Amino acid sequence: MKKLKEACGVFGAYNLDGKNISSVIYYGLLALQHRGQESCGIAVSNTKKDIKNILCYKDMGLVSQVFNKERILELNGDLGVGHVRYSTIGESIKENAQPLALKYIKGTLALAHNGNLINTEELKEKLQRNGAIFHTTIDSEIIAYYIAKERVKTKSIEDAVSKVMKIIKGAYSLILVSPKKLIGVRDPHGFKPLCIGKKDNTYILSSETCALDSIDATFIRDVEPGEIVTITSKGILSDKRNCITNNRRGRCIFEYIYFAKEDSYIDSVSVYNARIKSGEFLAEDFPVEADLVIGVPNSGNTAAKGYARIANIPFAEAFVKNSYIGRTFIKPDQNERNIAVKLKLNVLKEVVRDKRIVLIDDSIVRGTTSKEIITLLRDAGAKEVHIRISSPPFMWPCYFGIDVPKREELIAFNYNKKDICKILGADSLEYLRVDRLSELVNNLSICKGCFTGRYPIRIKK
């Protein structure tokens, strides 16, 4: 049951009273676990004692598996950063887990990164020609190297970061821990989210506002695309020298459609409201006679509620989802594969039997998941299945941190809508119109490259 995956989530905290913040970061990462389930880590520094030392622990697995009470107590520091990862670039191995912690001539640095660079190979080759040795296969290490390299020639870490922002290209929300500074950086196009919060005398940087809510922190504001935010004992400092005009920004629309938790706000837009709108737009543009509207958990449920309200068709939850089943089972035997699918998602037969169903899902990538779900509904006795997708057809890959595969693997690239409908076994199929995407997010400037092939940054294809 393959679904799209996000690259990762980042969370940083600085307690100005000198109290240990590792438990705060731990709970923040738990709230961001949906952004990455392969590996996680926490790095902390003690600004009241030894600023030359960074304590770091990271491993493969979920946050609750990697960290326990004893491990959290060992990570004693008042300034730190955490990371949860899903690999879109670089292997899924412990060496590629983040944060990255390093010592260099100017001191110490810890870095957590969400996003993908598009000029990784070019930058890496330049560093290797100058003798750099890499310990990972992720682009985040390249960013760390360049920041350390520029810091040797600049007066401040902020100046070094600003220079590096002119070198690296692509998507990045960064959280840095420098000896007595917590720094947040968002790429000029704003692909990935990053926000600022505060609880008592602790400042926080987070990928999503839901993590602020989880620790009862107050949301202050979003980090602007292109902005460098520095948090010190004196408060928040802002550097906007790398900001660009609003119409050149390209926030990832899939944060709103699928990736972010629906209780989050990104750039002042409610993720929940965006998903409700997507269902409403589908109902307005592609109505169909039916008895019931259902959604594929979890993001499909919210869009389904929007569809049901506009269409005046009852909404019901028809799937039982097993939250404890991890990534897709790969089974050579078809019977075993069928069992694996039902373990992850099963249908309430009493809900769908003899019903004409409108099925709402957030996307179709290769089509295998949608086909399996429709088969489950047919087997449970559904009379008709009309599928409505709360995003346009995937026609192009993503270069900025979503594991959209090559064009040749995308079902919408290989087949027209009528053929896809037949392959999936649906009675009808419709996608959200591309021109509706901006309406979902109150006309913010967004990236629609995976639907249109036109990206905010020029791509060498």
Neighbours of 432 (CB within 10 A): 26
β-strand pairing of 79-85 with 39-45: antiparallel
Q: CA-CA distance, 157 to 144, in Å (whole number)?
A: 12
Catalytic residue among 8, 252, 447, 450: 8
Residue 233 DSSP SS3: coil
Q: CA-CA distance, 350 to 164, in Å (whole number)?
A: 58
Residue 111 pairs in a beta bridge with 100, 176
Q: What is the DSSP letter of 329?
A: P
Question: Which residue from 116, 115, 24 is spatially nearest to 77, judged by alpha carbons?
Answer: 24
Identity of the residue numbered 312: N
Residue 438 CB burial class (10 angstroms; 0-12, 13-18, ≥19): middle
Identity of the residue numbered 339: I
Instruction: Say if residues 374 and 359 touch (Cβ distance below 8 Å).
Output: yes
191 CB-near residues (< 8 Å, 6+ apart): 115, 170, 171, 172, 173, 250, 251, 252, 400, 401, 447, 456
Question: Which residue from 240, 198, 201, 233 is spatially nearest to 217, judged by alpha carbons?
Answer: 198
Question: Which residue from 63, 44, 46 is spatially nearest to 55, judged by alpha carbons?
Answer: 44
- For the chain, what is the total number of helices (H) and then of strands (E)? 17, 23
**What DSSP string describes 379-402?**
HTT-SEEEEEESSPPP-S--SSSB
Q: CA-CA distance, 207 to 196, in Å (whole number)?
A: 9
Residue 176 pairs in a beta bridge with 111, 183
Q: What is the DSSP letter of 223?
A: P
Structure tokens given for 142:
């390249």
Nearest-10 crossing angle of helices 120-129, 139-151: 50
Structure tokens given for 137:
């296969």
Q: Is 243 a catalytic residue?
A: no
Instruction: Tell me which residues are annotated as active site.
Output: 8
